[in-house]
Amino acid sequence: MTYDKLIPSGAHHDKAKHRKDKQPKDKYLKNKHAKGKQVNESVLSHAHNIDLNELVTASTLAMKGRGAVSNSSNRYDSESMVKIDDGWTAEVASTSVQTKLIPAPSKTIISSNSSPDISFSKSINPYRGCEHGCIYCYARPTHAFWDMSPGLDFETNIFVKANAAEMLEQTLNKPGYQCEPICIGANTDPYQPCERTERVTRGVLEVMQKHRHPFSIITKSDLMLRDIEIYEEMARDKLCSVAVSLTTLSNETKRKLEPRTASPAARLRLIEQLSLAGVPVTVLAAPMIPAVNDHEMEAILASAANAGAKYAEYIFLRLPLEIEMLFTEWLTEHYPGRAKHVMSIVRQSREGKSYQSGFHTRMKGRGVFADLLHQRFNIALRKLGLNEEYPKSELNTRAFQPANQQLQLF
């Protein structure tokens, strides 16, 4: 059977104590919610020293409908847990973990960034945490700010910003507010399952529509079709664009990689319906994972183009902070025969590391495999006629109507 062993900070391995190469700096370490927290470097360094053979032997216990196979310690824990196999008896996997919705009223709702390699500087996330359970999700480490695990906690403890629409209304009505496009769902999916009942994203959209404020939005969910009348109406005045993430065309791969997302067929229908409604759609072939889904890149792009997508982007697998350990556990659970090969290519594409956080390289990687992936992407774009109007036409900011202008209309 397996049991959890508590390890004090810095005691994972002797190598971890004396490593000269430090974890690459990442924006998550600078988040305001992390102020005053001490980073436990051993939690992060353990992932660098992990023995894949040991993990394959001491198989973890995946839960149906969940992405992470553990609830590993976060980087601020003074002690961390490591699963140990004592070799005596087989452990029975837990059948499920219930999702918990946690009210999280916000004092502010629009986040800002100055990253030179993403296309927006303002964003709104109606939820923290995401029930979709995508194992590769770069937002997972943010759950550490709330003393929770980036593993199962991230996909089972969802913070709901129920007052998001109210806060957005107040922000847009402030004197001197400068209108620029806002990206909805930059971190976590705004149409994750709880949106069906909570309707936080719907409220945000209604405020955007009321004030004629331009926005873009990213999702993996066909629940977006519930609000298609808003997208169709806003698109007529170039006030919205949509990005649909399509990681695989295989239902089997999807169930392992992103268990509670819409099926590939449902996402293609979403692209088709949005395109027919006149909404500009970008397909995100992301992330591309060596020896897991990278062979599907051309087929993903072709299927999306046939469904009506006009633009495309891709991102190479990113493994910042705790995600490296979580992803490695996931690999050894679902693809034990190729886990070493996958991580070898990842490190070849990150100059020997599992992740590099530097601008302009973190999204695409470097090296032979990364260059070949980039070439394949560009060839597919030319064949399919995608990105022909690239760069995309800018969203319209001139139609914005703050409250004082709306009152003047009457």
Question: Residue range 152-159: average pLDDT?
Answer: 96
- The whole-number pLDDT of residue 369 equals 97
CA distance 129 to 103: 12
pLDDT tens-digit profile of 341-350? 999 999 999 9
Question: Residue range 139-149: average pLDDT?
Answer: 91
CA distance 289 to 138: 14
- The whole-number pLDDT of residue 9 equals 44
Q: Is the pLDDT of residue 192 over 90?
A: yes
- Assess contact for 24 and 358: CB atoms under 8 A: yes
Residue 285 pairs in a beta bridge with 314
- The whole-number pLDDT of residue 51 equals 55
Mean pLDDT of the chain: 85
Question: Residue range 214-220: average pLDDT?
Answer: 97
CA distance 259 to 256: 6
Q: Is the pLDDT of residue 357 over 50?
A: yes
**Angle 301-280-400 (CA atoms, 0-180°, nearest 5)?**
150
Q: How far apart, in Å, are the Cα atoms of 308 and each of 215, 233, 282? A: 20, 18, 9
Amino acid identity at 96: S
Q: Is the pLDDT of residue 267 over 50?
A: yes
Report which DSSP code applies to 407.
H
Question: Residue range 182-206: average pLDDT?
Answer: 97
pLDDT tens-digit profile of 94-118? 567 899 999 999 999 999 988 887 8
Q: Which domains are seen in the chain, by residue range? A: 97-384 (3.80.30.30)
CA distance 58 to 88: 11
Q: How far apart, in Å, are the Cα atoms of 205 and each of 73, 196, 224, 245? A: 36, 14, 11, 20
Question: Residue range 246-272: average pLDDT?
Answer: 98
Half-sphere exposure (CA, 13 Å, Cβ side) for 234? 29
pLDDT tens-digit profile of 27-56? 434 455 555 555 555 555 555 555 555 444
Q: Is the pLDDT of residue 137 over 80?
A: yes
Half-sphere exposure (CA, 13 Å, Cβ side) for 382? 5
pLDDT tens-digit profile of 358-375? 888 888 999 999 999 999
Q: Is the pLDDT of residue 392 over 50?
A: yes
State residue 372 phi and psi, 5-degree precision: -65, -40
Token pair recorded at residue 53: 């053979």
- Assess contact for 398 and 179: CB atoms under 8 A: no
